[in-house]
Structure 1
């Protein structure tokens, strides 16, 4: 009985701790939502806080987004959706192929290629931006979707993750498929890829979040206002000559929606993909 009571106390303490941590993590989001429902004059007067002034809440900021003032915002939103969606699909396709090949096949230079992937993974992207920018300029791709996506299609972290996950795949299925006359591509797409669904889901969330929040690289290669992604577009609303808080805060709240949808869609595979990919191999 004493042990059971002690366990209950520990459980209550852990739950209380987790609730506190969750509140601390969610406080910036709560403050953002409160700011999006407050007039710009209140933001200038009180600043960004989590205090609730229900009497002053209104939806004028969101009305501004859906009005004429928000025309550029929706173009930025569309650009981010297109870039993120295409980048997720291409990154999962190519990175899974590379990671799978490094895990299940034996070929000359395999260890060297894997070490190269790890070395690139250790290099900060900021160091690679200048040569990548010169490459995009040489290809005349600046100020286009391709300039944003091309350097990020095969992500080292995704290759490493898929390689670690594929190491644990049953090789017996591959041998049985070869005996039945299945090609190597057929083995991957028809047999192994369905087994790798948790890893695809985990990487879809991580790559989608990275692409959606990417700021520095798109800022370097995009020039025109119509090509800006959402983070860059929202940043342009803050200038020394005036700040459009109405669009900024309401637009920031709406920018969270795609990531929430992406996570809810893949959440049942997310934890399984992260744990399996992290311990196998």
Structure 2
């Protein structure tokens, strides 16, 4: 009887989660349907879920793949910036978080306090000082200027620190006895144990970098350095003559995030749950 009740409860939970997932995907479904509609229909009825097969066509996507050269330039810029940001952020943030968790040195708690304070400060408060720094270092209108504020993320440092606290310190002592250097201990022993945290942060940092709009808008001046969010925003006009290309282009922007999540999903939940409860 108890087993039967557990089975029924499991089915009820699955149905509830399926409904919630469908509701969450509802806007994306409407966006995908609208991406096959012409601009005139979008201006007349907006984004709707009704399907008129006579109106739907692949013209929007054909235009993107054959004539929208700037779109793919923006796409490439976003891929480069997001890819480098993920790699550099995971590298530096993991080392900072790992050192705060495993080494006892003077000022460690003060540094961690600064990390927590920075997490609580809205980015809008930091924009002007960061913008002035980019001007002083002559990094305006460069990829480096876009990526630099995101390379060492306080949220990622906090997450890696919380995860590294639970790593077995005995492995570090054994490696030192065998003559392994501190860098060797991190890269050869501890980093493989931190793979779930790397996967979780890769998804979160990649999502943040891919969708980042405000900071690149401040830093970038040249059209050939536009990222996808900025480039798509330039398609908005009072006349609405680019809405069909805008919506089709927005649908295409989802693909890298889906691929990123599919690649790291096996570690994602484990990384978030483990990193969130230790400390």
Q: TM-score range by the shorter chain?
A: over 0.9
Root-mean-square deviation (CA, aligned residues, Å) is 1.2
| More deviation, 5-14/111-120 | 5-14
**1:231-269 deviation line (CA, Å, top 9, x unaligned):** 110011002354412220111111001001111111111
Partner Cα distance (2:111, 2:101) in 1: 12
State the number of aligned residues.
Answer: 279
Mapping of 1:123-162 within 5 angstroms? 123-162=121-160
Q: Which residue of 2 aligns with 1:15?
A: 14
Q: Which of the numbers 178, 191, 194 marks the counterpart of 2:192? A: 194
Mapping of 1:211-222 within 5 angstroms? 211-222=209-220
Q: Which residue of 1 aligns with 2:30?
A: 31
Partner Cα distance (1:204, 1:9) in 2: 36
Q: Aligned pair 1:107/2:105, yes or no?
A: yes
**1:186-214 deviation line (CA, Å, top 9, x unaligned):** 00001000101110010000000000000
Partner Cα distance (1:10, 1:36) in 2: 39
Structure 1 contact 177–187 (Cα < 8 Å) conserved: yes
User: CA shift at 1:6, angstroms?
Assistant: 4.1
Mapping of 1:1-281 within 5 angstroms? 1=1, 3-68=2-67, 70-281=68-279
SS in 1 for 2:54: helix
**After the TM superposition, which segments of 4 or more aligned residues of structure 1 sit over 6 Å from their partners?**
none
Partner Cα distance (1:50, 1:263) in 2: 26
Partner Cα distance (1:222, 1:239) in 2: 20
Structure 1 contact 94–153 (Cα < 8 Å) conserved: yes
- TM-score normalised to structure 2 length: 0.97
User: CA shift at 1:44, angstroms?
Assistant: 1.4
Structure 2 contact 42–244 (Cα < 8 Å) conserved: no
Partner Cα distance (2:226, 2:276) in 1: 35
Structure 1 contact 168–280 (Cα < 8 Å) conserved: yes
| More deviation, 212-221/232-241 | 232-241
User: CA shift at 1:139, angstroms?
Assistant: 1.2
Partner Cα distance (2:143, 2:51) in 1: 41
Structure 2: gaps (5+ residues): none
User: CA shift at 1:11, angstroms?
Assistant: 3.1
